[in-house]
Amino acid sequence: MAQQPIAVERVPTDFVRSLSDRPWYVRAAVHVGRFFRAKPLGGVGVALIVLLVVVAVFREQLSRYDPQQVFQVPNPSYDAELAEQALDNPSLKLLHPPEKFEPTTLARNLGPSSKHWLGTDNNGRDLFARLVWGSRVSLLVGIGASALAVFIGSVFGIVSAYFGGWVDMFMQRLTDSLQAFPPLILLLLMIQVIDTPNLTLITVALGIVGVAPVIRIVRSTVLAVREEVYVTAAITIGASDLRIMFRHILPNIVAPIIVVFTTSIGLYILAEASLSFLGYGDPREISWGKMVNEGRILTSAAPNVALVSGLAITLIVLAFNLAGDALRDVLDPRLRGRSGRSGF
């Protein structure tokens, strides 16, 4: 008796590939898309941060003009006939205002135009060019100070919580001493160490002032992680303290550290602008806070001078706060279930 042929089903070749099988750039695009859908305000903040980074990196190409270039415009008070007469009779310059003899004058406090997109300041310099050049200073100070504060604070916080006892007590009393001073007063005392402040000193001073809050946050997180089973297992097998702290504890507290780092950048940008506004910034650098101070006395005559720099500070601080809040919701497992799918 002949055997019936066995029907073999054809395996479909158009099956949907999982995300892990796709190239890295596809996975990254999917994660970014999910983040923007889950956290639209955080996405706006990230977009503004990316815009700031692009402007800061390519400021030479985007500024259009040299930020120190002084522009001239035709002088409406210029009297050509009188100026010609003064060539033969210099005593006429003593009888008439000086502007009668100058064909051009500084382009002071001009409004926005096709030549000057944001107008000019009181010294005839292009506001858009100065705003673009000041972006790099704000970004460098914000990232540098936040990175310094997070690095020092994380090391001290991990060591303090891990060892406990007199080590923890000693480090926490130092932290209390640092927090006892008002931040602005402590910052001004550090800046006064040298006669001429520079960008490096300002960044280091801001980072030191911000160490204490980071120590508190990291310490409280490590106190919870220290009691986990994997830490106990590492201690049981004889792992060194250094390995336990930086191989087993540190990777598990990265999420709050990233959030602190992100949200602190906006605060340090605002602090640097405040120092520049008070006259304690780097005199060689163009700063948004310095631009606000320069336009402060011209608010009624030329409000755009202080408005554009103040708006830039507001937007970028808001951007880092929005991005930091969204990142906290994404990285914190306790908050992921509140808004459906997380960004990642």
Amino acid type, 76: P
β-partners of residue 78 are none
CB-based contact 123:70 (threshold 8 Å): yes
Tally of residues, the chain:
344
CA–CA separation, 198 vs 314, rounded Å?
24
HSE-CB of 139 using CA atoms within 13 angstroms: 20
CA–CA separation, 231 vs 250, rounded Å?
11
Q: Which CATH superfamily is domain 127-339 in?
A: MetI-like (1.10.3720.10)
SS3 106: strand
pTM comes to 0.84
Chain mean position to CA 179: 23
Q: Where are the domains of the chain?
A: 72-106, 127-339
SS3 89: coil
Q: Select from 259, 344, 326 the least CA-distant residue to 29.
A: 344
Q: Select from 73, 55, 72, 51 the least CA-distant residue to 64.
A: 55
How buried is 76 (Cβ within 10 angstroms: 0-12 exposed, 13-18 middle, 19+ buried)? exposed
pLDDT tens, residue order, the chain (344 aa)? 455 555 555 555 555 556 677 787 788 888 888 888 988 999 999 999 999 999 999 999 999 999 999 999 888 888 888 778 778 787 777 777 777 878 888 888 888 889 999 999 888 999 999 999 999 999 999 999 999 999 999 999 999 999 989 999 999 999 998 888 888 788 888 887 777 788 898 999 999 999 999 999 999 999 989 888 989 899 899 899 999 998 999 989 998 999 999 999 999 999 999 899 988 888 889 999 999 988 887 777 778 888 999 999 999 999 999 999 898 888 765 555 454 444 44
- Per-residue pLDDT at 151: 96
